[in-house]
Amino acid sequence: MRNGESMGRGGSAASAIVVPPTEAWNPAARKGTGRRLVHLARTKPLGTFALAVITIFVFTAIFASALVPYNPYGGTSGVSLLSPRFAHPFGTDAAGRDVLSRVIYGSRASLWTSLVAVGLGTLCGTAIGIVSGLAGGWFDTIVQRFVDAAMSIPLILLAVVIVSLVKPSLNNILFALSFAIVPGTSRIVRGSTLAIKQEPYVESARAVGCIPLRIVLRYILPNIFAPIVVLASVTMGAAIIAESSLNFLGLGSPTLIDWGGMLSSGRDQMETAPWLAVFPGLAIMITVLAFNLLGDAIRDVLDPRLRV
């Protein structure tokens, strides 16, 4: 009976060890999600303000067609290069088009391209990082040498090289940005995976016969979700700058309205009509700053080492 009892107790202990001691799988921690949001609003006012700004920009991008006061593609005034006034708060460009309408409509291309690029790049980078970290050995070595080579080139420069090799278009910019985001994401995810796979609950899961896919979904992903979210939010700012830079250099679609293209068309008239470049530049600056502030706030909330 003692042997049977010890075996039963041993089996219970083994199954208990498998459960990772993280808040992601603690029911009490799930109930505290609402309290964390309130805590974020109280202790991180800049992060909350940044989230409100991003929400406004996303709302503007989604409903741009209904929000624009004038046709962003056609002339709306008989006089070109009108300075900002009540009828045209952001003025008009050389073709008599309302700059405010173009800034609002340009948010679609800038935000959508950056959002999709960050999503695809983060997804691919996460997959590569997890597989590389779990596999180890020669496979990990080969993958990391490719990652090192890609990370030696700045994100914007790598995107410029990729787009320059193909026909300039929105889809090619999206592909270039996604490809450029993968190396940095995979390196961070790999480091987190290497640390987590050494934990006792992961070793216990392997000992009881859990397949690698279950280990990844049950133990690895929940524990690296926080750094992935922070990385993606900060990368959004860099992606917006890169996307605007590519369009500024004329590597995007010439018929598409975007903030980078508006900056490029207004740079030659900075002395006579500075509003052509100031307002799209402000839109880029405010959006990038908002994503960076939001990323810092999310990091402070999700990282247990920074909680007070």
Q: Please report which helix (H) or strand (E) contains residue 175, including its range.
A: helix 170-196
Which pLDDT does position 116 carry in this prediction?
92
Closest to 93 in 3D by CA, of 305, 281, 268, 233: 268
Q: Is 14 inside a domain boundary? A: no
DSSP structural state of residue 153:
S
Whether residue 56 has pLDDT greater than 90: yes
Q: Is 195 inside a domain boundary? A: yes
What percent of the chain has pLDDT above 70? Answer: 84
Q: Which amino acid is at 295?
A: G
Whether residue 12 has pLDDT greater than 50: no
pLDDT category at 37 given cuts 50, 70, 90 is low
Domain harbouring 157, CATH code: 1.10.3720.10
**Across 145-166, average pLDDT:** 83
Which pLDDT does position 23 carry in this prediction?
42
- More confident position, 10 or 232: 232
3-state secondary structure of 190: helix
Q: Which of 32-46, 119-133, 201-215 has the highest mean pLDDT?
A: 119-133
Whether residue 298 has pLDDT greater than 70: yes
Whether residue 77 has pLDDT greater than 80: no
For CA atoms 282, 284, 285, 286, give the dihedral sign.
positive
Which pLDDT does position 120 carry in this prediction?
94
Model-level pTM? Answer: 0.78
Three-state helix/strand/coil letters over 108-120? HHHHHHHHHHHHH
**Across 159-185, average pLDDT:** 84
Q: Is 165 inside a domain boundary? A: yes
Whether residue 232 has pLDDT greater than 60: yes
Q: Is 47 inside a domain boundary? A: yes
**Across 90-116, average pLDDT:** 89
Return mean pLDDT, the chain: 81
Strand partners, 92: 98
- More confident position, 29 or 247: 247
pLDDT category at 39 given cuts 50, 70, 90 is low
Q: Is 5 inside a domain boundary? A: no
Contact 185, 129 (CB under 8 A): yes
Which pLDDT does position 247 carry in this prediction?
87
- How far apart CA 292 and CA 272 sit, in angstroms, is 33
Q: Which residue has the tokens 């409100």?
A: 52
- Domains in the chain, number: 1
Domain holding 145, by residue range, is 33-73+88-306
- How far apart CA 47 and CA 41 sit, in angstroms, is 8
pLDDT digits (tens, 9 = 90+) for 264-282: 888 888 888 899 999 999 9
Torsion of CA 239, 240, 243, 249, to 10 degrees: -120
Q: Which amino acid is at 6?
A: S
pLDDT category at 245 given cuts 50, 70, 90 is confident
Q: Is 39 inside a domain boundary? A: yes
Q: Is 12 inside a domain boundary? A: no
Q: Is 198 inside a domain boundary? A: yes
- How far apart CA 69 and CA 103 sit, in angstroms, is 11
Residue 218 tokens read as 């049950």
Sort residue 256 into left (φ over 0), alpha (ψ -120 to 50) or beta.
Answer: beta
Residue 104 tokens read as 């609002």
Which pLDDT does position 24 carry in this prediction?
42
